[in-house]
Amino acid sequence: MGTDHAPTRRRYLQAMGAASAVAIAGCAGSGTDWDCTEPTSFASTIGVAATAELAVTDATHDWPQGERDSRNTGATADPGPREDVVRGWRFEATDTGTEGPVDDCYPVIADGRVYVGTYEGDALVALDPATGAIEWRYDRLSSGGQVAVLDVGDDPLVVAPGADGLHAVDAATGERRWLYGDGEFDHDGNVVATDRAVFANGRNGIHAVEIASGDRRWTADGNQVGAATGETLLLGDSPFRALSTADGTERWRVEDTTPYGSIAIRDGTAYIGELGTVAAYALADGTREWVFEGATEDFRVPAVTADRVVVGSVRTEAAGGNLYVLDRPDGDLQWCRSYDDRDVHGTAVADGAVYVATDDVVEALNSGGDRIWVYREQYGNYETPAVTGNLLLVGTGDGAVTAFCEGESGGPVPTPTPDPTPPVTPPE
């Protein structure tokens, strides 16, 4: 049987969402059920790659953490795939025991490689972005889903949670650099990292770990790492709290607010999604700057640009989610789109385009909400997009990663086969 993992954001929602929905129903039920329209459908459905190798261009910006950076901005200046888009390779993590992948997969991209941590697959893997082939595999017990690529001089590290601790491995070779935890770190939860420290959910609370050495900086009470700047770490707990990244002391808290890890930071403001509302809070003291009220829906992690907040939702009292685009300064609605019986699990913004991941659709919208392209696959279970250059990677809720790129279409869907390269064996 698989390990009984501690809360990822999905499990955290499952555990707390029902109770919170009852508590919030009184206010959210009286909220605004916006008249969202479906995206225009003039765009044609994209094809699949004719060859096993995608024409991936060099990226100007990496996507080294689950929501791109420690602030969870979910936005990049790179364009992503726009024209002649094809669905390329798919990586599917397989279990070495009796159960398959069981939860969200968060692909990250840095220095010309894709990194994926697999639940129940016992491995952190590095993939070729053009083919999906495995370049190295780091084996460990019951790894977590989120990973972060960190700059440490000339030797970047990949950090990921495992059953026995927080693992840091060489990004180029997959060899272990340090292991933090010694049995204290058995959560498969969020991981965010700033220039000098990585913050993660541990068995006994929130852990701050020095990147260079793997030494403990501090621990603090808490359940869900949210987002971080150089000075402030935000927790997706109830109440909503801010800690000092230097020593873990509490800087401020907001009672009766539970973002469940749905937090993004930009220019001194924190943007959170919770049940029924999206709100902006001053990072300095937690003062609320504005609130956008939706229907009874769970808002996901916002993607934040210079002038917009883009956020998807999962309806809790009706079928289907919505996509909202808000003015960043005041939270006013610019436009919204309805997705019928599909939940909107993840969004990313790339040079103005919005990439949307739903239950069985991945699509790109322009800045006005019209479709650029759409890809449909029954039971696709799409969750978490990541964008660099002309490449879009989308993780799924069952441990897979699918690649979309600009190129020619018309051939079979490439599926990577297991790489014969032997795994990197961690030292005892």
Read off φ and ψ for residue 25, nearest 5 degrees. Answer: -55, -35
pLDDT of residue 2: 33
pLDDT of residue 31: 56
Which tens digit of pLDDT belongs to each residue from 244-282? 999 999 999 999 888 877 899 999 999 999 888 999 999
Cα separations (Å) of 14 from 5, 8, 215?
A: 13, 10, 33
User: How does DSSP classify residue 353?
Assistant: E
Q: What is the DSSP string of 216-254?
A: EEEEES-S-EEEE-SSEEEE-SSSEEEEETTT--EEEEE
Quote the CA–CA distance of 207 and 185 in Å, as a whole number. 9
Which tens digit of pLDDT belongs to each residue from 2-37? 333 334 444 444 444 444 333 333 233 345 678 788
Quote the CA–CA distance of 250 and 243 in Å, as a whole number. 4
Quote the CA–CA distance of 425 and 407 in Å, as a whole number. 37
Quote the CA–CA distance of 385 and 345 in Å, as a whole number. 9
3-state secondary structure of 342: coil
**Under a CB-based contact definition with an 8 Å cutoff, are residues 170 and 190 in contact?**
no
Place 221 in a pLDDT band, splitting at 50, 70 and 90: very high
Higher-confidence position of 323 and 118: 323
Which tens digit of pLDDT belongs to each residue from 225-241? 999 999 999 999 889 99
- CA-based angle 386:167:105, to the nearest 5? 30
**Under a CB-based contact definition with an 8 Å cutoff, are residues 161 and 191 in contact?**
yes
Which tens digit of pLDDT belongs to each residue from 305-333? 999 999 999 877 766 789 999 999 999 99
Find all residues with CB under 8 Å of 60, minimum gap 6, and list them.
77, 78, 389
Which tens digit of pLDDT belongs to each residue from 131-159? 999 999 888 655 556 789 988 777 899 99
What structural domains and CATH numbers belong to the chain? 9-406 (2.130.10.10)
- Sign of CA pseudo-dihedral 251, 292, 65, 200: positive
Q: What's the chain's average pLDDT?
A: 81
pLDDT of residue 356: 96
Higher-confidence position of 171 and 181: 171
Find all residues with CB under 8 Å of 3, minimum gap 6, and list them.
120, 141, 142, 163, 186
pLDDT of residue 266: 97
Quote the CA–CA distance of 65 and 163 in Å, as a whole number. 20
Mean pLDDT of the 198-216 span: 90
Q: What is the DSSP string of 32-87?
A: -----BPPP--SPBPEEBSSSS--PPPPSS-B-BTTBSTT---EESS----SSEEE
- CA-based angle 46:72:296, to the nearest 5? 80
Provide the percentage of residues in the chain whose pLDDT is more than 90. 52
User: How does DSSP classify residue 143?
Assistant: -
